[in-house]
Structures are given as structure tokens and as C-alpha cells.
Chains A and B, each alone.
Chain A
């Protein structure tokens, strides 16, 4: 069954597409009283770097909705070290926090960024830290700084260094061309993973964030593949008649939940990489699909219409006990869980309109998080602070994000074509 794909049929390269980045960020709303922060320009010996680290950090923090980064033009001074900080310059413009830093080149050729976070009112230095990397890693250094600042101020682990996978569909010469892409969490540094004239669906990250699983129709029918990010090496995992879909890597990375209809109708199976065996987990004449793991690796949540309409169920893999989780509304599907296993997000239909909703699995409270139409494919950031989803803007598929408390939002509009099925990487 396991068919190794040695021949590279399609263009699969980890090729940066910086010249034609498809995604940009558009913040649509933030919290009412965002924390004010200034990121003084971070340079090397007073000269600009190939990437504007301070601007990237400011944009990261802005995007969270919890911060408002000061425009550089409004700064009264541009300190590069703590000794150059005049607190008065920041107090009179109402800044709560200030980041200062600079980059030097070490004797081994690596870049070293020293940065400090300062609380303006108390004139306190909260930390001074050093981050090192190669010239090609300036954006990584910037996101590292954002993570450190975000965590220090909010107590929430930053997810700015994570990545997104998504699928694009672009009309080229009268037919759709599908691409599986990976970018930084801010949409920058897009990389092409797979290009095909046949549909690509359902990207899913491995728990170590080094691989993606996805569904590709390149063989003429849907099949599940796994592919490494670093060398594009890939393997076809399934080739059954009927559905081969909805791959979901187990938290320990040793197995994958997926959907096959080889036995007559869609059922959830467990595929073990070591033994290359498939174990059937559900047994029902209804549709069972879209499995997603609880973090302990012992239970799955999934969509089933066994009750007459699509709803979310929980399946204990050991006992095979099944429990219904959603009761509000006639369409709840494609569940994803925040890392705390408590906040369930899903596609929820309300008055004929498809929104993203969250449900607290302890209290049962349901909350609709989006107001657009045709919202789908929610994916939660690994820190649980935001979720991304696909929606429509005009007739175009775009990615959008909303904080889990629905307070802040941003869009990642694409320059061309449809963007869909975002999958937020683990840390």
C-alpha cells in the first residue's frame, strides 16, 4: 500500500518567493485600549539592515491587537542602547514600553542582536537579551524579539515565530492551479511546497512542525501525502478507492488519524507509521470525518451527521466511547481545539450563514467569533491567543484572523487568486 513517490512529478521546491509575496496584513480592529510601545530602530553600526527588525517587531505586536506600536516618525529620539534612553522623550508621548537594541557582526560572521525592554513610567529595564543568527535569519531574530517582548508584558507565550500552511487556487490560462504554501505567521517569506493542476486540500502539521500532511488529487483521485519542509522529500500514504482525507497527526507524531471510505462510507482510521497499518476507529453508516486530536493523544474530536445533522463528537480511542459535544445549531463541523483542550473552535451555521464559533467545553458556552459569510477552516495559534480562518471577500477567498476573545482582527489579503485552508504550525 505504501507507495514511495521517488519521481518528482510536480514542482516541489523550498524556493523563497520574496519577489512576489502574495499575502499582506491589514488590521481591521484591535482592543479598545492597546498597550503603547515604541520600538526604537534596531540597526548595525547605525546603518539599516536588510530587514527592518524594528518595523517587523512593531507589526507583530500590532497584529496581536493587544499593542499599538508607535510610528517611527513620531519618535523624539532613536536610542540604540539603554544609556541613550531619555525617559522624558517617551513619557511625554504616552509610551508605556520601549524596546531598544542594536546588531553587531561577531568574529564568526554571525549576527548578534542585543535588545532591552524598558518600562517607561517606572524607568525600569525589564530584560536585556541577546539573539544570534545568520544574515538570512533577520526576520527570525525580529520574531524572536517579538515573542520575548510579548511574553514579558502579557504572560502569554508569543507565536510570532510560528508558520502558516495554506492552499492557493489561482486561475492560470483558464484553469485553476493549486499550490500548497508555507509562510511565516505574518505572511512573509512564502515558500512553495507543491504545485498541481489538481486540487490540494487539508494541510496538517506534524507536531515537530517539520512536515506537512495533505490531500492531493494528482493521481486522479484524492490521496494523502506527507512531505518534509526542509528537503521536500515526500511519501504517498494512502491510495484507497473513495475518500482519502482529513489527515491529523497524533501529538506524539507516531500515527495519523485520517478518513477513508473504502469500506463503504466515510470512517475514521488510525494509521501507524511504524507498522504501516490502518485501524478503523468509527463504525457508523453516517459521515464521520475531520478528526482532530486532544492533546493527550487518547481522544479524537470529529464531525459526524449520525444524529441527523453535522455535529462534533469526541471519541476515546481506547474505549471507543463516543460522546456528543455540540448541541447548539444544526451545523457544527471541522473542530479544532486550542492547546488547553478546553476551547473548541468550529464552523457553525447560524441562520443559513457559516461562521466560526468557539465553545467552552467546560461551561458549554458558545460564542460566534466572525461576522462574515462562508467562514471556514479555523486553526488556532499554538498559544491559543488567536485563530485564523478562511473567508470570502467579494468573490475571493482570503485568510482572516480573530483573537479568541473576538476583540481584535486582521486580514491577510492575497494579491491574486483564492487563499484557503490555513493551518497554524505548532511552536
Chain B
């Protein structure tokens, strides 16, 4: 009778299907090749892929294809984690060497209100943007777009899902 006694446990069992990084916006740095090069692989909700995977820019950076493009944040925070910095420096070097327009898509977990989370997602995207600009990337190449909590990487209402959803994706 009383729906207030909802069992959160039930929630966990239901689905573990993840939204793969499928945001519609086409990768602006794609070389137009279908299928092959600009791959998005999905593993446990973490989407990884190459930003500039055309395979033509392989100069002195030997991380082609393997560089992290998703950066995670703590709850209600928009400060970069120390473990994000190495990969972000590589992104910066690439963008300096091969300038291309990039989307920094900021996301929040589902807790809190939707429009406030839009602002939080933007703050996270801006944190990545500021870091890249400090490394010397032309700011005009970087556009921050917040999706708030509207595009979760993982749909469960659990701590582990939430930690996957508080993120910035470089696209």
C-alpha cells in the first residue's frame, strides 16, 4: 500500500544495461571514415576511444588509440583528479600539434536537480577547458557542452554508477 517503503535493493537487480557513449553529436575530429578508425569501445560503461583516430597524426606520441577520453569527478566537485592530468596533457599536446575543434561534454550524476546539474556539468567541462588552455591549447577550439544528468553512462542508482556518470567526455 505505501509506496514510500520502496526497496532500493530491488533497484540494483533490474538493469545493468549501459548507455554506450552514443551521443549523437558526431565527433568533430573524425576524418570521415566509417566504422574503422574512430572507434568507441564500451567496457562496463566506460567509453573509451580515440579523439583523433584517423591514424595520420602519429608523430611522437605513442598513445594513439589508447588515450583516455573520459575524466571522472567526485560528488558535487568540479576539480580535476590528479590521475586525469597525464592524459589531459597528452590531449593538449595533440591539439597544439593538430588543432581541431573539440567538444568537452560535462555530465553529472542523477542526484540533485536537473538544471543545477546542468550547471555542475558545465563547471566540470570548464575545468577541463581551463586546464587545456593553460597547457597552451587555443581556447577557440574548445566548446563546453553540459548534458547535466540527461545522458548517464550507467543507468543504475548506485554509488558505482554515479561515479561513472560524473564525468567529462572529450569528443
Does A155 touch B at the CB level, under 8 Å?
A: no
Known: A28-B1, A242-B144, A411-B3. A395 touches B15 (CB 8 A): yes
Measured between C-beta atoms, what is the minimum distance from B8 to chain A in Å? 7
Does A157 touch B at the CB level, under 8 Å?
A: no
B113 and A303 form a contact (CB under 8 A)? yes
Enumerate chain A residues within 8 angstroms of B114, measured Cβ to Cβ. 201-202, 334, 376-377, 420-421
Does B151 touch A at the CB level, under 8 Å?
A: yes
Enumerate chain B residues within 8 angstroms of A175, measured Cβ to Cβ. 19, 22
Query: Of A66-74, A144-152, A216-224, A319-327, which stretch is located at the interface?
Result: A216-224
A171 and B17 form a contact (CB under 8 A)? yes
B155 and A395 form a contact (CB under 8 A)? yes
Residues 171-201 of A, flagged 1 when their CB comes within 8 A of B and 0 if not, give 1001110000000000000000000011101
A331 and B112 form a contact (CB under 8 A)? yes
Known: A175-B19, A242-B144. A376 touches B113 (CB 8 A): yes
Q: How far is the CA of A221 from the CA of B17 in the complex (A)?
A: 25
Does B64 touch A at the CB level, under 8 Å?
A: no
Interface range for A: 35 or more
Enumerate chain A residues within 8 angstroms of B146, measured Cβ to Cβ. 222, 242-243
Interface range for B: 35 or more
A29 and B115 form a contact (CB under 8 A)? no
Enumerate chain B residues within 8 angstroms of A334, measured Cβ to Cβ. 113-116
Does B11 touch A at the CB level, under 8 Å?
A: yes
Enumerate chain A residues within 8 angstroms of B25, measured Cβ to Cβ. 220
Known: A199-B147, A217-B147. A347 touches B113 (CB 8 A): yes
Q: How far is the CA of A265 from the CA of B116 in the complex (A)?
A: 12
Known: A175-B22, A221-B145. A392 touches B115 (CB 8 A): no
- Which of A28, A259, A289, A349 lies in contact with B2, CB distance below 8 A? A28
A372 and B6 form a contact (CB under 8 A)? yes
Enumerate chain A residues within 8 angstroms of B14, measured Cβ to Cβ. 394-395
B115 and A354 form a contact (CB under 8 A)? no
Q: How far is the CA of A77 from the CA of B19 in the complex (A)?
A: 57
Does A65 touch B at the CB level, under 8 Å?
A: no
B112 and A333 form a contact (CB under 8 A)? yes
Q: How far is the CA of A259 from the CA of B119 in the complex (A)?
A: 10
Measured between C-beta atoms, what is the minimum distance from B51 to chain A in Å? 17
Does B164 touch A at the CB level, under 8 Å?
A: no
Measured between C-beta atoms, what is the minimum distance from B103 to chain A in Å? 8
Closest to A198 in B: B24
Enumerate chain A residues within 8 angstroms of B143, measured Cβ to Cβ. 221, 241
Known: A243-B118, A243-B119. A372 touches B24 (CB 8 A): no
Q: How far is the CA of A252 from the CA of B20 in the complex (A)?
A: 44
Please name the 9 residue pairs, one residue from A and one from B, whose CB atoms are nearest each other, closest first.
Answer: A199-B150, A371-B4, A334-B113, A287-B119, A246-B115, A333-B113, A266-B119, A395-B14, A220-B25
Extra contacts besides A201-B115, A201-B148, A334-B115 (18): CB < 8 Å: A29-B1, A171-B17, A174-B22, A222-B145, A242-B146, A243-B146, A259-B119, A261-B119, A287-B120, A303-B113, A303-B116, A333-B116, A334-B113, A334-B116, A370-B4, A376-B114, A377-B114, A394-B6
